[in-house]
Amino acid sequence: MSFKALKIFSEKPNDLKIVDLEISELTDGDVVIKSEFSSVNYKDALAVTGQGKILRQFPLIPGIDVSGEIVESSSAKFKVGDKVIVNGSGLGENRDGGFSEYVRVPADIVISLPSGLSTREAMTIGTAGFTAALCLKRMETNGQQPHQGPIIVTGASGGVGSIAVQILSKKGYEVVAVSSKDSSVEKLKKYGAKEVVKPENLNLGHRPLEKARWAGAIDNVGGELLSGIARHIDLWGNISCVGLADSPVLNTTVMPLILRGVSFLGASSANCPHSLRDEIWQDLGADWKPSYLNDIINSELSLDDITNYSEELLSRKKSGRALVKFQ
């Protein structure tokens, strides 16, 4: 049985094409999934354009998430006909990923589709939404509660940020959304943000500690914005760090940590333990399910569209979420 996939052959820019493959040509696994949906995440765009060293081997099919139906299984965990999700766990990085009509993976990285989600909704959430939920899960595990005060979300118009705003609001948190896009203001308020602020209007100051303004943060951009926000986090607040859209550099002092008990928390969706990954997906299919999933899809793509979309995403001509739909 022949099928189509987008395959990258080397680190060279544009060394990729849509190819015809057989199941036997995919990286090993005991479960074969007929893909229904995938999505284009920031990491995918870096891989497709060659702007980031995402792939660990070549040739390889990119795409760090996928949802669909099992059509072959030699595992006792899953049977033919089961609807499932795979995200992270090396998919599209060190094993063939989701930009393919069929995906073969080990059963121990597969998640059963929650009853509250369709395969389309699962990829509308995708790795971006999973990462937003992982950020909040880490914060709440470390004691974050709504009564402590507002949570500031940077990069709020992007895939992770827009879903973070929705989940936080649904969970009862007051949300301050940071976005440079005027076109996103009303949308973010609809999602539940009490306030939408441009980065340059935050007035973050330069002292090691500034007035406490937020109880915590979910940061997608890194750099000076993250450094500045850290100076304003209140007692025992948590900063969940997940992105570097501005810069990977963090210039700060230990003052927020030793005088206010602030915690910096990492959120690595690719390496999340399977038990926690399953727990978060079950949450996303229940009371953490974003209320405006259809609003955040700005594009529905075929395999042919992925390269151009990736370039536009990295040049910030696109934001939000893009689904890849398979026939």
> Where do the structural domains in the chain lie, given as residue ranges?
2-124+274-325, 128-269
Please report the pLDDT score of residue 291 as a whole number: 92
Q: What single-letter DSSP state applies at residue 180? A: S
Q: Do 128-269 and 2-124+274-325 fall under one CATH topology?
A: no
Please report the pLDDT score of residue 266 as a whole number: 96
- Whether 218 shows a pLDDT value over 90: the answer reads yes
Alpha helices in 35-158 (DSSP H): 42-49, 119-141
If one compares 296 and 71, the residue with the highest pLDDT of the two is 71
pLDDT digits (tens, 9 = 90+) for 271-303: 999 999 999 999 999 999 999 998 888 889 999
Question: CA neighbours within 13 Å on the CB side: how many for 281?
Answer: 31
**DSSP of 212-225:** --EEEEEESSBHHH
Q: What average pLDDT does the segment 201-225 reach? A: 97
Q: Cα(47)–Cα(24) distance, rounded to whole angstroms? A: 24
Please report the pLDDT score of residue 245 as a whole number: 84
pLDDT digits (tens, 9 = 90+) for 127-175: 999 999 999 999 999 999 999 999 999 999 988 999 999 999 999 999 9
For 41, the 3-state DSSP assignment is: coil
Share of the chain above pLDDT 70, in %: 100
Q: What average pLDDT does the segment 186-202 reach? A: 97
**How many Å separate Cα 88 from the centre of its chain?**
10
Please report the pLDDT score of residue 1 as a whole number: 80
Amino acid at 245: A
Amino acid at 196: V
Please report the pLDDT score of residue 160 as a whole number: 93
Contact 127, 41 (CB under 8 A): yes
Average of per-residue pLDDT values in the chain: 95
pLDDT band at 230 (very low <50, low <70, confident <90, very high): very high
Q: How far is CA 247 from CA 124, 147, 250, 276, in A?
A: 26, 31, 8, 28
Q: Cα(34)–Cα(117) distance, rounded to whole angstroms? A: 17
CA angle in degrees (0–180, nearest 5) for 163-139-271: 75
Taking the domain 2-124+274-325, which CATH number applies?
A: 3.90.180.10
For 42, the 3-state DSSP assignment is: helix
Q: Cα(270)–Cα(75) distance, rounded to whole angstroms? A: 23
pLDDT band at 317 (very low <50, low <70, confident <90, very high): confident
Kind of pairing between the strands at 65-73 and 83-87: antiparallel
Please report the pLDDT score of residue 285 as a whole number: 97
- Whether 119 shows a pLDDT value over 80: the answer reads yes
Please report the pLDDT score of residue 320 as a whole number: 67
pLDDT band at 7 (very low <50, low <70, confident <90, very high): very high
Share of the chain above pLDDT 90, in %: 88
Alpha helices in 171-222 (DSSP H): 185-191
Q: Cα(168)–Cα(282) distance, rounded to whole angstroms? A: 17
Q: What is the layout of strands, in order, in the sheet containing 175-178? A: 195-197, 175-178, 151-153, 214-219, 233-241, 263-266
Q: What average pLDDT does the segment 171-193 reach? A: 96
pLDDT band at 36 (very low <50, low <70, confident <90, very high): very high
Please report the pLDDT score of residue 85 as a whole number: 99
Q: Cα(45)–Cα(16) distance, rounded to whole angstroms? A: 13
CATH 3.10.100.10 fits 128-269, yes or no: no
- Whether 323 shows a pLDDT value over 70: the answer reads yes
* Element at 307 (helix H, strand E): helix 306-314
Tokens of 85: 């999700």
For 10, the 3-state DSSP assignment is: coil
